[in-house]
Homo-oligomer: A and B are copies of this chain.
Amino acid sequence: MAGAINPNYTKGSGQSAPQSPEAWLELVRHGGMPGLSRAISLLENHKQEARSTANALLDLCLPYSGNSLRLGITGIPGAGKSTYIEQAGPYWLQKGYRMAILAVDPSSQRTGGSILGDKTRMENLSRNPEVFIRPSASAGALGGVGLRTREAMLLCEASGYDLILVETVGVGQSEIAVHSMVDLFTLIAIPGAGDELQGIKRGIMEMADTILINKAEPPAEQKAKMAAAELRNALHLFPKHPYGMEPQVLLMSALKNQGIKASVDHLESMLLKARASGAMEKRRKDQAVFWFQEALQGQWEHILERNTKVHQRYLDLKAQVSSAQMSPFLAAQQLWAELVSAHGN
C-alpha cells in the first residue's frame, strides 16, 4: 500500500477534518488510501475556504509530486478502455509500479458519471489494495474540464503512486484536458464498418502518441489489421510530434488478453525514453502553464457555482449570444462586471 497508514486519520468517515494544509499533507503522505480519498474530496468541495485550503495543500504537495509516469487513455464508449485497463493493470504491477487510476468525464454532470462510476467494470483491479481507483469529479460550468483530475493526480503522486492512468471518453474537450496532463496519450480504437476506425472525433487522432487497435480477434480481426495498415500508412502524412515521439499503431485484443503485455512494454519504454531525453520535462513545463491559464478560468467556476444569480445570468447571456441577440463581447463585459462584483462581496 502506498504510504503507511496513520491510524489517527483512518478511523472512519466520522472523524474531524484536518485543521491546516500541513495536516492535510500528512494525511496525503501517510494516511493511505482513505487519507488520499478524503484529500481528493477536499479538492471537490466548492466552498471558498475548502478551495483555499486545497490550493495551499497542492502547493505543499509540489516537492513530493512529479515522480510518476502519467499515461492518458481515451477512446469512444465501447472501444474497450475499461477491459484494457483491467488486463493491462497486472503487467504494470508486475513491473513494480504503484498504480492510481483517475478519470475525466465531462458527461458526469448529466449522467452522474459514466466511466469508472461502476467499479465492477474493473473488477479485479478495484479489489486490489495496491491500486487506487477514483471516479471522475464533475466538471464545472465554465471551462476547467479536468482541472480537479489534474489536481488529484498531484495528490496521488505525493501519496506515493508512481503510475497515474487517466481515462477519458472521446468528446473533444476532455481529450485536450487529459492530453495536457499526461506524458503519453493513448487512443484505443476499434475497426468500423469499412476500413476506417469507428467514431473518432476530429483532432483526437493527431493528439495520440500511441494508437491501440482493439478487437483484433474474430470476427473483426481482418478489419483491425487493415485499419492498422492504413493508419500506419497515413501516419507519415501527419506532422512530427512536438516532443519527438513517433506515434505507433499496435494491435490487441483486450477480450482475449492478446497484445496487452506488448502494449505495456511499449508504453513504458516510450515513457522512460521521454523521461531520459528531457522531452517529458519540457512537456510538463508547457502543461503547467496551460493549467495556470485553466485555473484562472476555474476561478470563475467557483463564483458561478457559489452564486446562483451570477450563474443564471451566465446562462441567460449564453443563450442570447447563441441566438445572435447579443454580441459575445458585450455579454462578456456584462458578466465580468457581475463576476467582479460578486467576488468583492
Q: Which residues of A contact B (CB under 8 A)?
A: 51-52, 54-56, 58-59, 61-62, 66, 142-143, 147, 151, 154, 194, 196-197, 199-207, 230-231, 233-234, 236-239, 241-242, 284-285, 288-289, 291-300, 317-318, 321-333, 335-336, 340, 343-344
Contact = CB atoms under 8 A, between A and B. Distances in A.
B151 A329 contact: yes
A231 B238 CA distance: 10
Contacts of A298: 329, 332
Given A207-B202, A322-B289, A294 B328 contact: yes
Contacts of A288: 321-322, 324, 328
A233 to B, nearest CB: 8
A296 B289 contact: no
Nearest to A335: B296
Contact of A333 (B289, B299, B332): B299
B196 A237 contact: yes
B330 A58 contact: yes
Contact of A201 (B239, B322, B335): B239
Contact of A234 (B58, B62, B237, B289): B237
Given A237-B231, A285-B322, A324-B288, A329 B295 contact: yes
A321 B336 contact: no
Given A61-B327, A194-B236, A292-B318, 4 more contacts: A55-B327, A55-B329, A202-B206, A288-B321
B330 A318 contact: no
B331 A292 contact: yes
Contacts of A325: 62
A241 B231 CA distance: 19
29 contacts: A55-B327, A55-B329, A56-B330, A58-B329, A58-B330, A59-B327, A62-B324, A62-B327, A142-B293, A142-B296, A194-B236, A196-B237, A202-B206, A204-B239, A205-B238, A205-B239, A233-B233, A234-B234, A234-B237, A285-B324, A288-B322, A289-B322, A292-B321, A292-B328, A294-B328, A295-B329, A299-B336, A340-B340, A344-B344
Contacts of A54: 329
Contact of A238 (B62, B202, B297): B202
A82 B301 CA distance: 42
A329 to B, nearest CB: 5
Given A237-B230, A292-B328, A293-B143, A55 B321 contact: no
Contacts of A197: 237
